[in-house]
Amino acid sequence: MATKSVSHNILGRVDYVKRRGQKNIKIRVLHDRVLVSMPYYTPIKLANQFLNSKIQWIKDNRPVTHQINDGMTIGKSRVLRRSTSTYNKSRLNDKEIIVSGSDAFVEKVILRVLKNDAETLLTERVNTISNQLNLTYTDLKFRRLKSRWGSCDHQKRITLNVLLVQLPWELIDYVIVHELCHTVELNHSHKFWETVSVFNSNYKSLRKQLRAYAPVIYNTAYVDKT
């Protein structure tokens, strides 16, 4: 996969991604940038022409900017309680994250909590599904990824986005199945999707549902233009 980032004079940051096995140029409007993916051998110039033809559509479909507000649900079990104090302080229990200070500090605390939750909850989930499907992996890591929910390399090392734990369980399971299937089929060929369908016959519906979420703390939805 090849990636190039540019600063568009109207749209701001635009990421161009070339993917093997992709058939059409696609545009995704994320909260902080526009992602243009294309078949591997498509010239970026052609993708840019397609992008420019969709500028008004992109502007109309920019996700609403969300703030980190008191009462937000974080992960699977905690509610954010934000105090009015200006000091950077935090404490948490099984039900709440109590925090004060700058937005940057609050976001840092939330990401730390999500990473811990992901390592605890999703590691167990990956192991369970791996055993059920008889698909093995060599390593599992959790990181904050900018535009993907997960990845798998040729050595069967899986990386999951720490923000994945924010999603509904059926979508989490879909992402896990997707990455485990990459341990036997690294690309997104027809054979890969056949493998996914063996383990998850409803994958097309789940794949569509997943596109309603962006990998950000606030679960801001984004839209997909093909």
The pLDDT tens digits of the residues spanning 112-161 come to 999 999 999 999 999 999 999 999 999 999 999 887 999 999 999 999 99
Report, as an integer, the average pLDDT of 16-41: 90
Residue 63 burial (CB count, 10 A) = 16
Residue 181 in contact with residue 126, Cβ under 8 Å? no
SS3 51: helix
22/131 same-domain check: no
Q: Are both 54 and 77 inside the same structural domain?
A: no
Kindly report, residue by residue over 88-99, the tens digit of the pLDDT.
Answer: 999 989 899 999
Residue 29 is given by DSSP the state E
57 and 156 part of one domain: no
Domain that holds residue 80: 73-210
Instruction: Check which CATH number belongs to the domain holding 160 and give it.
Output: 3.30.2010.10
Residues 88 and 144 occupy one common structural domain: yes
Answer for the pair 199, 181: CB distance below 8 angstroms, yes or no: yes
Q: Comparing C-alpha atoms, which of 32, 58, 52, 55 is closest to residue 147?
A: 32
Assess whether 35 and 96 both reside in one domain. Answer: no
pLDDT on residue 173: 96
Assess if residue 11 is contained within a domain: yes
Mean pLDDT of 182-202: 93
Which residues contact residue 163 at a Cβ distance below 8 angstroms, ignoring those fewer than 6 apart?
114, 144, 149, 215, 216, 217
Would residue 222 count as lying in a domain?
Answer: no
Number of domains in the chain: 2
Residues 35 and 100 in one domain: no
Average pLDDT over residues 62-80: 77
Question: Are 117 and 181 within one domain?
Answer: yes
Mean pLDDT of 163-177: 94
Query: From the CB of residue 152, how many other CB atoms can be counted at a distance below 10 Å?
Result: 21
Q: Which two tokens stand for residue 153?
A: 């390399």
Does the structure show a pLDDT above 60 at 225? no
Q: How far apart are CA 181 and CA 177, in angstroms?
A: 6
Same domain, 44 and 124: no
Q: Does 176 map to a domain?
A: yes
In a domain, 226, yes or no: no
CB count in 10 Å sphere of residue 87? 9
Co-location of 24 and 131 in the same domain: no
For the chain, the straight-line distance linking the first and the last C-alpha, in angstroms and rounded, comes to 19
Per-residue pLDDT at 15: 93
Asked if pLDDT for residue 2 goes beyond 70, the answer is no
pLDDT of residue 66: 55
Instruction: Provide the CA 112 distance to its chain's centre, in angstroms.
Output: 17
Rounded-to-integer distance, Cα 161 and Cα 85, Å: 31
Q: With pLDDT > 70 as the criterion, what percentage of the chain qualifies?
A: 93
pLDDT at position 65, please?
52
